[in-house]
Structure 1
Amino acid sequence: MKTALLALLASVAVSTAQASQVQLGLELSGLEPMKGQHYEGWNIVDGAAQSTGRFSIGKDGGVYLVNAMGKSLKKVGQNGHASFSVDRSHLKATLFVLTIEPNSDTDMGPSDVHVMGGDYSRRQASLSVAHGSSIATDFAAAQGSFILAAPTGGMPNQGVWFLNPGNGQGSLSLPSLPDGWAYEGWIVNTENGGKFSTGVFKDATKADSDNAGPLAGPLKLNFPRVPGQDIVRTPVVLDDGIHAIVVTVEPYPDFDPAPYAIKILMAGVYANAPGMTPMMLNNISDTVPSGQAHLH
């Protein structure tokens, strides 16, 4: 009799706990695996941010619940579709925000790196990087060009610079970014996936984080004060028809050395492309991450 009563009480406790929770469903597209950092969802309830859970994207496309160290706990979804149990109070949420948090995160609040957000209407929210809670632009107006040049001492096909050679000014037109984000340029081998960062920058009219870069030639101080990079101290040449130039939007600070999923400008370098000749970048902002959130 006592055993049966205890079992009944345990069943009631489980049912009560389940009744106090609801499900948050996420349908996310465009997110990629990351190293050194993970995602965390937040519902804004009565003006306060309430975590909906930390997660990562696996190489298999799985969505994995993780702890603050970024360690996987269990699989909760696949291909951007996932479900999280949250307190019933989340039904009053007015806004959803997705952030990037560093592994070994000790801050219980959201970071400054807001990937996408959306306002709830009838417990559903369309999520966008353009939402005011996040990056606040869709990057559709981003544009620019680049040239091949190696001012630190090399052949023109051993460097790339976001420079207008006619006036010596920067050649990128990019929206201002909020705290938590920065731009980064990339040289990408389209055959083997090899990448060189050309530097991190907030202002496209000034030099980037590493000036001419660690692979610059002997004239290391002889470079234009705009974003770009020389790769003189490598055997790589950029006019071989297999390289592309890409501009991404990166978490700042960034704990993953690979390009982030927000890729906004790209162009291939055609074979035998001449130096000091502007080549236009294509806007690819229609590929940026987006999603839906719904409470039920």
Structure 2
Amino acid sequence: MVFALTAFFVACSNNDNEPTTGNLTINLDGLEELGTDFVYEGWLIVNGAPVSTGTFTSVTFPQTFSVGFNDLEAATKFVLSIEPKNDTDPAPSKTKILAGDFSGNTATVNSNIVGDFSNSWGKFILATPTDGMNNNERSGVWFLTPGTPPTAGLGLPELEDGWKYEGWAVINGKPVTTGKFTKLSATDEFGGFSGVNALPAPNGPDGFFPGEDFLTNAPDGQTFPTDLRGATIVISVEPSPDDSPAPFALKPLAKKVATDAVDHSPIDLGAGPKASITGSVKR
């Protein structure tokens, strides 16, 4: 009986000393701050189900989180998502930005879950179709390839739910949107700066092409019409929904317009400043 009681107390003592939590360290390169209504949230995939590792807003790394020890040991994958700040849904949103499988105690993560932009290409023209021909023609940008009829000016992968493309003109150092879009040969979601004339006849069931004329309702610090020569044209990949007025970190295509650029002539977009976000997660 003495031996049995001793063994019982030793076993209890050993169980009490076993760790219940462990550390998960996240180290990412290229992530940028979100709008005020959203946060990043990490997830471990354990037996096929997501387990939250916590939320964060700072993009200074490395960052360490305390996670249940058993979940940490059993996890096969790490995923990072973008969530509403006051989220009541316990599951990850559709807006997943990073993912990677664990190999031993490390997961190498990247943004290929959003899309592979390594072979992306683009063209645009300077033109203002919404105020007629030969009026302020260098004050608008349209992502198309000229021809009869014109064709798509962007070669980009189709995005998953939770993401949209957005065009930008960086004018006098400030980014001004041309609108968000998901289809490359369709009218985008914004027309707040364009003139009153209708866009050219649609070339397909989804309308014209992404782009914008900068003619009216200029934002603070801008004057419309403008001259886009010397401006930088950018395509970004944006979370959806998104409350930030600035371009998101992923910018696969960009081009500074030459000072002698000719309107209605195709201009090639080049590689943007950030086509991929990478990092590592250690347990």
TM-score (norm 1): 0.80
| Equivalences for residues 203-214 of structure 1 within 5 A | 203-210=183-190, 213-214=191-192
| Equivalences for residues 13-32 of structure 1 within 5 A | 19-32=19-32
The residue aligned with 2:47 is 46
Runs of 5+ unmatched residues, structure 1: 1-14, 58-62, 64-78
Q: 1:147 aligns with which of 125, 131, 142?
A: 125
Identity of aligned residues (%): 38
SS at match of 2:103: coil
The residue aligned with 1:172 is 154
Distance across 2 between alignment mates of 1:285 and 1:204: 21
Runs of 5+ unmatched residues, structure 2: 1-14, 203-207
| Equivalences for residues 1-296 of structure 1 within 5 A | 19-35=19-35, 36-57=37-58, 63=59, 79-89=60-70, 90-130=72-112, 134-135=113-114, 137-153=115-131, 154-166=135-147, 167-189=149-171, 191-192=172-173, 194-210=174-190, 213-222=191-200, 225-233=208-216, 234=218, 235-236=223-224, 237-241=226-230, 243-284=231-272, 287-295=275-283
Q: CA deviation at 1:164?
A: 1.2
User: How big is each residue's C-alpha offset from its partner over 1:147-181, in whole Å with a ceiling of 9 and x where there is no partner?
Assistant: 00000114111110001112312210111111111
Cα 1:16–1:201 shift into 2, 3 Å: farther
The one-letter code sitting in structure 2 at the alignment partner of 1:101 is: E
Q: CA deviation at 1:252?
A: 1.6
TM-score (norm 2): 0.84
Q: CA deviation at 1:17?
A: 9.0
Q: CA deviation at 1:240?
A: 4.0
User: How big is each residue's C-alpha offset from its partner over 1:219-271, in whole Å with a ceiling of 9 and x where there is no partner?
Assistant: 14457601000111243423342x11100111122222221111100000111
Distance across 1 between alignment mates of 2:162 and 2:228: 34
Q: RMSD between aligned alpha carbons?
A: 2.1
Over 6 Å off, 4+ runs: none
Distance across 2 between alignment mates of 1:216 and 1:113: 30
Distance across 2 between alignment mates of 1:18 and 1:80: 29
The residue aligned with 2:9 is none
User: How big is each residue's C-alpha offset from its partner over 1:16-70, in whole Å with a ceiling of 9 and x where there is no partner?
Assistant: 599211000111010111112110000001111000010012xxxxx5xxxxxxx
SS at match of 1:146: strand
Distance across 1 between alignment mates of 2:65 and 2:107: 15
The residue aligned with 1:70 is none
Structure with max Cα Rg: 2
SS at match of 2:252: strand
Count of residues in Structure 1 that have an aligned counterpart in Structure 2: 253
